[in-house]
Amino acid sequence: MKIQQIALVFMATLIAHCAQINKEEIAGETPATTNPGGGGGGGGTSTLNAQLATGVVDAPCNGHTGDGCQSSFSDPTKVTSGVKGAGWGSGSFDVYSISESTADGGKYATLILDWQGGTVKNVPGLDFIVYENAFEYAGTYGTRFMDLIIVSVSQNNTDYCGWPVEYKGKKGSDSLADFQNGSLTGDKNAYSKWPEAWIHFAGKSPTAWNKDTNPMSYDDLFATKTTEYYNTATPPVLMYSRTDLKGGGDGFDLDNLTTDAATCTATVLNNIVTNGFKYIKLQAARSLINPDTSALYPHEAISNGPDIDGVLARHVVP
Ligand SMILES: [Ca+2]
Ligand SMILES: [Ca+2]
Ligand SMILES: [Ca+2]
Protein backbone atom coordinates (compact mmCIF):
# COMPACT_ATOMS: atom_id res chain seq x y z
CA MET A 1 0.00 0.00 0.00
CA LYS A 2 1.67 3.20 -1.16
CA ILE A 3 1.06 6.82 -0.32
CA GLN A 4 -0.40 7.77 -3.66
CA GLN A 5 -2.83 4.89 -3.43
CA ILE A 6 -4.43 5.66 -0.10
CA ALA A 7 -7.38 7.44 -1.65
CA LEU A 8 -7.86 4.60 -4.09
CA VAL A 9 -7.66 2.05 -1.31
CA PHE A 10 -10.29 3.78 0.70
CA MET A 11 -12.59 4.21 -2.27
CA ALA A 12 -12.22 0.69 -3.49
CA THR A 13 -12.36 -1.01 -0.14
CA LEU A 14 -15.26 1.07 1.08
CA ILE A 15 -17.17 0.35 -2.08
CA ALA A 16 -16.30 -3.31 -1.91
CA HIS A 17 -17.31 -3.67 1.69
CA CYS A 18 -19.98 -1.00 1.87
CA ALA A 19 -22.74 -3.36 2.83
CA GLN A 20 -20.91 -4.71 5.83
CA ILE A 21 -19.73 -1.36 7.15
CA ASN A 22 -23.23 0.06 6.97
CA LYS A 23 -24.57 -2.91 8.80
CA GLU A 24 -22.01 -2.39 11.53
CA GLU A 25 -22.86 1.28 11.82
CA ILE A 26 -26.56 0.55 12.06
CA ALA A 27 -25.78 -1.93 14.78
CA GLY A 28 -24.04 0.89 16.62
CA GLU A 29 -20.83 -0.95 16.92
CA THR A 30 -17.83 0.72 18.47
CA PRO A 31 -14.36 -0.67 18.01
CA ALA A 32 -11.55 -1.55 20.23
CA THR A 33 -11.59 -1.96 23.91
CA THR A 34 -8.02 -3.02 24.32
CA ASN A 35 -7.19 -5.53 26.99
CA PRO A 36 -3.45 -5.95 27.05
CA GLY A 37 -3.51 -8.87 29.46
CA GLY A 38 -3.12 -11.57 26.87
CA GLY A 39 -0.02 -13.25 28.17
CA GLY A 40 3.36 -13.90 26.71
CA GLY A 41 3.96 -14.93 23.15
CA GLY A 42 7.68 -15.43 23.30
CA GLY A 43 10.58 -16.50 25.39
CA GLY A 44 10.79 -13.17 27.10
CA THR A 45 13.90 -12.98 29.23
CA SER A 46 16.44 -10.23 29.09
CA THR A 47 19.23 -12.73 28.39
CA LEU A 48 18.03 -12.97 24.79
CA ASN A 49 19.73 -10.92 22.13
CA ALA A 50 17.03 -9.50 19.86
CA GLN A 51 18.21 -7.94 16.59
CA LEU A 52 16.75 -6.58 13.40
CA ALA A 53 17.82 -8.17 10.14
CA THR A 54 20.43 -5.66 9.00
CA GLY A 55 21.83 -7.36 5.91
CA VAL A 56 20.30 -7.04 2.43
CA VAL A 57 21.20 -10.19 0.52
CA ASP A 58 18.90 -9.77 -2.47
CA ALA A 59 16.54 -6.87 -3.18
CA PRO A 60 15.97 -7.02 -6.95
CA CYS A 61 13.60 -4.03 -7.08
CA ASN A 62 16.41 -1.76 -5.89
CA GLY A 63 17.37 0.22 -9.00
CA HIS A 64 15.04 -1.77 -11.24
CA THR A 65 12.14 -0.33 -13.20
CA GLY A 66 9.22 -2.44 -14.30
CA ASP A 67 8.08 -5.92 -13.27
CA GLY A 68 5.90 -4.35 -10.59
CA CYS A 69 8.78 -2.63 -8.80
CA GLN A 70 8.02 0.82 -7.45
CA SER A 71 10.83 3.32 -7.56
CA SER A 72 9.51 5.31 -4.58
CA PHE A 73 9.64 2.26 -2.34
CA SER A 74 12.64 0.32 -3.60
CA ASP A 75 15.24 1.37 -1.02
CA PRO A 76 16.04 -1.76 1.01
CA THR A 77 17.69 0.24 3.79
CA LYS A 78 14.14 1.09 4.84
CA VAL A 79 13.89 -2.54 5.97
CA THR A 80 17.22 -2.75 7.76
CA SER A 81 17.37 0.64 9.49
CA GLY A 82 14.44 0.23 11.84
CA VAL A 83 10.75 -0.43 12.16
CA LYS A 84 8.56 2.65 12.01
CA GLY A 85 5.00 1.41 12.13
CA ALA A 86 2.13 3.83 11.63
CA GLY A 87 -0.33 2.13 13.97
CA TRP A 88 -3.37 -0.09 13.55
CA GLY A 89 -5.22 2.28 11.25
CA SER A 90 -2.61 3.28 8.69
CA GLY A 91 0.36 1.91 6.81
CA SER A 92 3.95 3.03 7.27
CA PHE A 93 6.02 4.32 4.36
CA ASP A 94 9.33 3.31 5.93
CA VAL A 95 9.24 0.18 3.80
CA TYR A 96 10.77 -1.67 0.89
CA SER A 97 8.10 -2.95 -1.48
CA ILE A 98 8.33 -6.22 -3.35
CA SER A 99 6.23 -6.73 -6.45
CA GLU A 100 3.65 -9.41 -7.16
CA SER A 101 5.13 -10.21 -10.56
CA THR A 102 5.86 -13.77 -11.60
CA ALA A 103 8.53 -12.51 -14.05
CA ASP A 104 11.90 -14.25 -13.81
CA GLY A 105 10.51 -16.84 -11.43
CA GLY A 106 9.14 -14.22 -9.06
CA LYS A 107 12.53 -12.54 -8.70
CA TYR A 108 11.06 -9.08 -8.11
CA ALA A 109 8.49 -10.44 -5.68
CA THR A 110 11.28 -11.66 -3.40
CA LEU A 111 13.42 -10.07 -0.69
CA ILE A 112 16.22 -11.92 1.10
CA LEU A 113 17.74 -10.57 4.32
CA ASP A 114 20.26 -11.78 6.86
CA TRP A 115 21.80 -10.80 10.18
CA GLN A 116 25.20 -10.11 8.63
CA GLY A 117 26.66 -13.42 9.68
CA GLY A 118 24.53 -13.83 12.78
CA THR A 119 22.41 -16.91 13.41
CA VAL A 120 18.81 -16.67 14.55
CA LYS A 121 18.30 -19.34 17.18
CA ASN A 122 15.20 -21.31 18.06
CA VAL A 123 14.04 -20.15 21.49
CA PRO A 124 10.84 -21.06 23.35
CA GLY A 125 7.88 -19.53 21.53
CA LEU A 126 8.19 -17.09 18.64
CA ASP A 127 11.61 -16.64 17.05
CA PHE A 128 11.07 -13.64 14.79
CA ILE A 129 8.48 -11.10 13.68
CA VAL A 130 7.89 -9.79 10.16
CA TYR A 131 6.60 -6.20 10.04
CA GLU A 132 4.56 -5.14 7.02
CA ASN A 133 2.24 -2.14 6.74
CA ALA A 134 -1.17 -3.79 6.90
CA PHE A 135 -3.88 -1.60 8.40
CA GLU A 136 -7.58 -1.55 9.27
CA TYR A 137 -9.13 0.96 6.92
CA ALA A 138 -12.31 1.40 8.95
CA GLY A 139 -10.65 1.06 12.32
CA THR A 140 -12.20 -2.22 13.35
CA TYR A 141 -12.07 -5.95 12.80
CA GLY A 142 -13.09 -7.19 9.39
CA THR A 143 -11.64 -4.13 7.63
CA ARG A 144 -8.04 -5.13 7.33
CA PHE A 145 -5.99 -4.38 4.23
CA MET A 146 -3.26 -6.98 3.82
CA ASP A 147 -0.45 -7.86 1.42
CA LEU A 148 0.24 -11.51 2.18
CA ILE A 149 3.79 -12.84 2.35
CA ILE A 150 5.17 -16.38 2.35
CA VAL A 151 8.22 -16.75 4.60
CA SER A 152 11.05 -19.25 4.51
CA VAL A 153 14.45 -19.51 6.20
CA SER A 154 17.81 -21.07 5.41
CA GLN A 155 21.30 -21.66 6.70
CA ASN A 156 23.00 -21.42 3.29
CA ASN A 157 20.65 -19.30 1.13
CA THR A 158 19.98 -22.40 -1.00
CA ASP A 159 18.05 -24.90 1.06
CA TYR A 160 14.99 -23.12 2.42
CA CYS A 161 12.30 -24.40 4.77
CA GLY A 162 8.99 -22.65 5.30
CA TRP A 163 5.82 -22.91 7.32
CA PRO A 164 2.70 -24.97 6.52
CA VAL A 165 0.89 -22.08 4.84
CA GLU A 166 -2.79 -22.61 4.19
CA TYR A 167 -5.35 -20.23 2.78
CA LYS A 168 -8.80 -21.10 4.11
CA GLY A 169 -10.71 -19.14 1.46
CA LYS A 170 -13.48 -16.57 1.33
CA LYS A 171 -16.97 -17.44 2.54
CA GLY A 172 -20.07 -15.70 1.24
CA SER A 173 -19.62 -11.94 1.23
CA ASP A 174 -16.70 -12.15 3.68
CA SER A 175 -18.79 -10.66 6.49
CA LEU A 176 -18.30 -11.53 10.14
CA ALA A 177 -21.34 -13.83 10.00
CA ASP A 178 -20.01 -15.55 6.88
CA PHE A 179 -16.61 -15.87 8.44
CA GLN A 180 -17.87 -17.32 11.71
CA ASN A 181 -20.48 -19.63 10.22
CA GLY A 182 -19.22 -23.17 10.59
CA SER A 183 -15.81 -24.14 9.32
CA LEU A 184 -13.42 -21.55 7.98
CA THR A 185 -13.17 -23.17 4.58
CA GLY A 186 -14.46 -21.10 1.68
CA ASP A 187 -13.62 -20.22 -1.93
CA LYS A 188 -9.85 -20.47 -2.16
CA ASN A 189 -9.77 -18.60 -5.47
CA ALA A 190 -11.39 -15.53 -3.90
CA TYR A 191 -9.71 -13.15 -1.47
CA SER A 192 -10.68 -12.92 2.21
CA LYS A 193 -9.82 -9.88 4.30
CA TRP A 194 -9.83 -11.97 7.48
CA PRO A 195 -6.27 -12.55 8.69
CA GLU A 196 -7.50 -15.71 10.41
CA ALA A 197 -8.08 -17.22 6.95
CA TRP A 198 -4.38 -16.96 6.12
CA ILE A 199 -2.49 -19.51 8.21
CA HIS A 200 1.26 -18.96 8.67
CA PHE A 201 1.42 -16.03 6.23
CA ALA A 202 3.09 -12.72 7.06
CA GLY A 203 1.81 -9.33 5.95
CA LYS A 204 -1.39 -9.86 7.93
CA SER A 205 -0.98 -7.60 10.94
CA PRO A 206 -0.56 -3.84 11.30
CA THR A 207 2.56 -2.48 12.97
CA ALA A 208 2.20 -0.46 16.17
CA TRP A 209 5.89 -0.48 17.06
CA ASN A 210 7.74 2.62 15.92
CA LYS A 211 11.33 3.01 17.08
CA ASP A 212 10.95 6.80 17.18
CA THR A 213 7.38 7.52 18.22
CA ASN A 214 6.28 4.31 19.94
CA PRO A 215 9.34 2.54 21.36
CA MET A 216 8.67 -0.83 23.00
CA SER A 217 10.75 -3.40 24.85
CA TYR A 218 11.71 -6.58 23.04
CA ASP A 219 9.82 -8.60 25.65
CA ASP A 220 6.69 -6.61 24.88
CA LEU A 221 7.19 -6.97 21.14
CA PHE A 222 7.16 -10.76 21.50
CA ALA A 223 4.18 -10.73 23.89
CA THR A 224 0.54 -10.72 22.86
CA LYS A 225 -2.55 -8.67 23.61
CA THR A 226 -6.18 -9.49 23.08
CA THR A 227 -8.56 -6.84 21.77
CA GLU A 228 -12.27 -7.27 22.37
CA TYR A 229 -14.78 -5.50 20.21
CA TYR A 230 -18.18 -4.69 21.77
CA ASN A 231 -21.31 -3.14 20.33
CA THR A 232 -23.18 -0.34 22.15
CA ALA A 233 -26.11 -2.40 23.37
CA THR A 234 -27.00 -2.39 27.08
CA PRO A 235 -25.27 -4.42 28.29
CA PRO A 236 -22.64 -4.38 25.51
CA VAL A 237 -22.32 -7.57 23.52
CA LEU A 238 -18.93 -8.92 22.58
CA MET A 239 -18.81 -8.97 18.79
CA TYR A 240 -15.34 -10.25 18.18
CA SER A 241 -11.97 -10.67 19.81
CA ARG A 242 -8.57 -11.06 18.29
CA THR A 243 -5.10 -11.70 19.71
CA ASP A 244 -2.15 -9.87 18.21
CA LEU A 245 1.42 -9.16 19.12
CA LYS A 246 1.60 -6.02 21.26
CA GLY A 247 3.74 -4.23 18.69
CA GLY A 248 1.92 -5.80 15.76
CA GLY A 249 3.55 -7.77 12.97
CA ASP A 250 3.37 -11.50 12.35
CA GLY A 251 5.40 -13.91 14.48
CA PHE A 252 6.97 -17.22 13.47
CA ASP A 253 8.20 -20.19 15.49
CA LEU A 254 10.87 -22.50 14.09
CA ASP A 255 9.15 -25.37 15.86
CA ASN A 256 6.40 -25.10 13.22
CA LEU A 257 8.62 -25.49 10.15
CA THR A 258 7.52 -28.01 7.54
CA THR A 259 9.24 -30.07 4.86
CA ASP A 260 6.68 -28.91 2.25
CA ALA A 261 9.25 -26.96 0.24
CA ALA A 262 11.23 -28.89 -2.36
CA THR A 263 14.46 -27.62 -0.84
CA CYS A 264 13.50 -28.71 2.67
CA THR A 265 14.49 -32.24 3.54
CA ALA A 266 14.06 -33.58 7.03
CA THR A 267 17.80 -33.15 7.51
CA VAL A 268 17.71 -29.49 6.51
CA LEU A 269 14.69 -28.87 8.70
CA ASN A 270 16.15 -30.55 11.75
CA ASN A 271 19.36 -28.60 11.33
CA ILE A 272 17.48 -25.28 11.27
CA VAL A 273 15.27 -26.19 14.23
CA THR A 274 18.29 -27.33 16.25
CA ASN A 275 20.92 -24.80 15.21
CA GLY A 276 19.03 -21.82 13.82
CA PHE A 277 19.09 -19.99 10.47
CA LYS A 278 20.97 -17.15 8.78
CA TYR A 279 18.79 -16.08 5.84
CA ILE A 280 15.14 -15.16 5.56
CA LYS A 281 13.24 -15.06 2.26
CA LEU A 282 10.04 -13.04 1.92
CA GLN A 283 7.89 -13.64 -1.17
CA ALA A 284 4.62 -12.05 -2.21
CA ALA A 285 1.98 -14.76 -1.89
CA ARG A 286 0.36 -13.39 -5.04
CA SER A 287 3.46 -14.38 -7.05
CA LEU A 288 3.18 -18.02 -5.97
CA ILE A 289 0.95 -20.96 -6.84
CA ASN A 290 -1.39 -22.25 -4.17
CA PRO A 291 -1.06 -26.05 -4.36
CA ASP A 292 -4.70 -26.36 -3.24
CA THR A 293 -5.97 -24.58 -6.36
CA SER A 294 -3.04 -24.73 -8.81
CA ALA A 295 -3.58 -20.98 -9.26
CA LEU A 296 -1.85 -17.91 -7.85
CA TYR A 297 -2.97 -17.02 -4.34
CA PRO A 298 -5.75 -14.41 -4.52
CA HIS A 299 -5.09 -10.88 -3.34
CA GLU A 300 -6.96 -7.69 -2.51
CA ALA A 301 -7.95 -6.24 -5.87
CA ILE A 302 -5.86 -3.08 -5.46
CA SER A 303 -2.81 -4.76 -3.95
CA ASN A 304 0.48 -4.24 -5.71
CA GLY A 305 2.90 -6.03 -3.43
CA PRO A 306 3.91 -6.35 0.22
CA ASP A 307 5.67 -3.44 1.91
CA ILE A 308 8.24 -4.63 4.41
CA ASP A 309 9.20 -2.41 7.34
CA GLY A 310 11.64 -4.78 9.08
CA VAL A 311 12.26 -8.23 10.56
CA LEU A 312 13.09 -8.66 14.24
CA ALA A 313 14.68 -11.88 15.54
CA ARG A 314 14.33 -12.86 19.22
CA HIS A 315 17.79 -14.29 19.79
CA VAL A 316 20.78 -13.80 17.50
CA VAL A 317 24.24 -15.25 18.11
CA PRO A 318 27.43 -14.48 16.17
CA1 LIG B 1 1.07 -3.34 2.44
CA1 LIG C 1 10.84 -21.10 18.79
CA1 LIG D 1 11.51 0.27 8.24
Whether 96 and 79 have beta carbons less than 8 Å apart is answered as yes
Cβ-proximal residues to 175 (8 Å cutoff; 6+ apart), any chain: 19, 20, 23, 142
Q: Ligand 3 centre and the CA of 204: distance in Å?
A: 16
User: What is the tens place of the pLDDT at every residue in 179-189?
Assistant: 888 777 899 99
End-to-end alpha-carbon separation of the chain, Å? 35
Pairwise CA distance, residues 79 & 92, whole Å: 11
Query: Beta-carbon neighbour count of residue 236 at 10 Å?
Result: 15
Q: Ligand 2 centre and the CA of 269: distance in Å?
A: 13
Return the closest-CA partner of residue 175 out of 193, 188, 198.
193
Q: Residue 62: what are its φ and ψ, rounded to 5°?
A: -65, 110
Q: Which domain holds residue 165?
A: 3-317
Tens-digit pLDDT string for the chain (318 aa) = 544 454 444 444 443 332 222 222 222 223 333 323 333 334 444 589 999 999 999 999 999 999 999 999 999 999 999 999 999 999 999 999 999 999 999 999 999 999 999 999 999 999 999 999 999 998 888 899 999 999 999 999 999 999 999 999 999 999 999 988 877 789 999 999 999 999 999 999 999 999 999 999 999 999 999 999 888 899 999 999 999 999 999 999 999 999 999 999 999 999 999 999 999 999 999 999 999 999 999 999 999 999 999 999 999 999
Q: Please state whether beta strands 119-120 and 128-132 pair in parallel, antiparallel, or not at all (unpaired).
A: unpaired
Q: Ligand 2 centre and the CA of 118: distance in Å?
A: 17
301 φ/ψ sector (left φ>0, alpha ψ -120 to 50, else beta): alpha
pLDDT at residue 181, rounded to an integer: 81
Work out how many domains the chain is built from and give that number: 1
pLDDT at residue 139, rounded to an integer: 82
Q: Ligand 3 centre and the CA of 199: distance in Å?
A: 24
User: What is the tens place of the pLDDT at every residue in 220-231?
Assistant: 999 999 999 888
Burial category of 187 from C-beta neighbours within 10 Å (exposed 0-12, middle 13-18, buried 19 and up)? middle
Pairwise CA distance, residues 84 & 94, whole Å: 6
Pairwise CA distance, residues 200 & 195, whole Å: 10
Pairwise CA distance, residues 149 & 110, whole Å: 10
In sequence order, the β-bridge partners of residue 277 are 120
Q: Ligand 2 centre and the CA of 127: distance in Å?
A: 5
Average pLDDT, rounded, for the chain: 87
pLDDT at residue 10, rounded to an integer: 45
Q: Residue 297: what are its φ and ψ, rounded to 5°?
A: -60, 140
Q: What share of the chain is helix, strand, coil (3-state, %, to 5)?
A: 20, 30, 50
Return the closest-CA partner of residue 193 out of 179, 208, 180, 207.
179
pLDDT at residue 231, rounded to an integer: 87
Q: Ligand 1 centre and the CA of 35: distance in Å?
A: 26
Q: Ligand 2 centre and the CA of 223: distance in Å?
A: 13
